[in-house]
Amino acid sequence: MASQPDGSGRNRGSITNRQCRNCGAYVSNQFARVFGNNQNRVYACLDCSTTRDLREGVATEG
């Protein structure tokens, strides 16, 4: 029985736009669009920063 690929095309352990680049926590696409930088990359999330810091743009800095 052949195993089927998952179709993701990603290596395990790689950071995606659905992860915080600071702590690795999952973030939604909407969160990345709102709080991330122009490439929807998030450098802080609700797990590792405060909502005040997020509103001030901490998630866009790398």
Tens-level pLDDT at each residue, the chain (62 residues): 444 444 444 444 566 779 999 999 999 999 999 999 999 999 999 999 999 999 999 999 87
Alpha carbons 38 and 11: distance in angstroms, whole number: 24
User: Is the Cα dihedral 27, 32, 18, 47 positive or negative?
Assistant: negative
Predicted pLDDT of residue 13 = 56
Where do the H-state alpha helices sit in the chain? 29-35, 51-55
Q: Where are the domains of the chain?
A: 17-62
**60 secondary structure, DSSP code:** G
SS3 49: coil
